[in-house]
Structure 1
Amino acid sequence: MTTIEEPSTGTRSAALHESSLTQDLLVLRSTVADVLLTRSHRVVVDVSCLDRPSSTAVAALLWAKRSCARAGVDFQVHGARPANRDVLRRCGLVVRGGGAG
C-alpha cells in the first residue's frame, strides 16, 4: 500500500493492491488512526487494483469510513471497477457511478 500525504489539503491517500492486501489493510488501519490523531481533513483510498473486494477488505473499508465519520474526517473510495462498484455501492462505500464515495 502506498500512503501519500498532501499537507496543504490535509489529505491522506492510500491504495489497496490484490497482491499485498493483508499488509495494505494493516497500513490502512494505521493511516486512519494517524489521521484521527492529527485531524487531517480527508482520507482517499484507491481500490482500482482490486480484482474483487474480499469481505475482509470491505469490512476494513467500512471500519475506516465509520471511524472517519465519527471524527468529522471525509472518507472516499476511488477507482472502483464497474464489476466492483455495485458491491461497494450496496455497502455504502461508493455513492457516485464514477467510483468516488
Structure 2
Amino acid sequence: MVLLSDQTLREGIHDLRWRLEEMLADGPSALVVDVSGLTRLSSPTIAALLWAKRRCTARGVRLTLTQPDQAMVGLLHRAGLDDVLEIHPARDSALGKATR
C-alpha cells in the first residue's frame, strides 16, 4: 500500500515512481493507494497516478485508490479520473451517495 497525504505527498509520489517495480515484483493482484489524507490533486499527483496505472495494467495488476473523502471523490470525478482509476470511497462517502 502507498499512502498519499498532503503532508507526505512528495514521499508518496517518490514511492510510486521509484519503488513501483519493487512493489510489483511479488506479483500482487492489486496495488492500493490510500488517498485519505489528500485534499487537493496537483498535476504531479495526477501524472504519478496515471503513470502507475499504466505500469500496473501492463503487469496485470489492478491499481485501486482507497479512502477518498467525498470532496476528493468530486475532484477525481471532475478530473475524469473516476473513469480511468478504480476508486473505493471512504465509508461515509459511499453512504452519502446512497442517500442522495
TM range (shorter): 0.7 to 0.9
Report the counterpart of residue 63 of structure 1 in structure 2. 51
2:8 is paired with a residue whose SS is helix
Report the counterpart of residue 50 of structure 1 in structure 2. 38
Aligned-pair identity (%): 33
Q: Would you tell me which structure has more helix in proportion to its own residues?
A: 2
**Aligned pairs, how many?**
86
Structure with the greater alpha carbon radius of gyration? 2
TM-score (norm 2): 0.73
Greater relative CO (CA pairs within 8 A, separation 6+): 2
1:34 is paired with a residue whose SS is helix
CA contact (8 A) 1:40 1:73 kept: yes
Unpaired runs of 5+ residues, structure 1, are 1-12
Structure 1 stretches of at least 4 aligned residues deviating more than 3 Å after TM superposition: none
1:46-71 residue CA offsets vs partner (Å, 9 max, x unmatched): 00101112111111011111110111
Unpaired runs of 5+ residues, structure 2, are 91-100
Counterpart pick for 2:74 among 62, 86, 93: 86
Summarize the alignment of residues 1-101 of structure 1 with structure 2, pairs less than 5 Å apart: 13-89=1-77, 90-91=80-81, 92-95=84-87, 98=89
TM-score (norm 1): 0.72
**Alpha-carbon RMSD:** 1.8
1:45-96 residue CA offsets vs partner (Å, 9 max, x unmatched): 0001011121111110111111101110111001112112133231222456
